[in-house]
Amino acid sequence: DIQMTQSPSSLSASVGDRVTITCQASQDISNYLNWYQQKPGKAPKLLIYDASNLETGVPSRFSGSGSGTDFTFTISSLQPEDIATYYCQQYDNLPITFGPGTKVDIK
């Protein structure tokens, strides 16, 4: 299985701050990586697909980059509604695997 790691596991930031989350794959996954946002009690929501493509309707303050084994997810200006846990997911190899998540809250 491809192991996905994320850092940090949690962070607190102020409204308007730039927030960056990293995701690392245990082997090369090209750009077969998605980023999901999950709010408490809700299903995950796709934000970024294929590492860097913004899903339709997702605010442009969200972005993703990277390829191979190292990926970055950025919120350019943190908003109160962005409080959530963020997961990366690889789908290059089966089984599909997720990172452990990064919990983001407001300082």
Tell me which residues touch another protein (CB under 8 A).
1, 34, 42-46, 49, 55, 87, 89, 91, 94-101
Q: How far is the CB of 18 from another protein (least distance, A)?
A: 25
Of residues 5 and 77, the one with the C-beta less far from another protein: 5
Separation of alpha carbons 37 and 86, rounded Å: 5
| Cα distances (angstroms) measured from residue 24 to each of 15, 20, 34, 69, 79 | 27, 13, 12, 5, 25
Q: How far is the CB of 50 from another protein (least distance, A)?
A: 10
Q: How far is the CB of 2 from another protein (least distance, A)?
A: 11
Residues in CB range of 29: below 8 A, 6 or more apart: 2, 68, 69, 90, 92, 93
Of residues 44 and 64, the one with the C-beta less far from another protein: 44
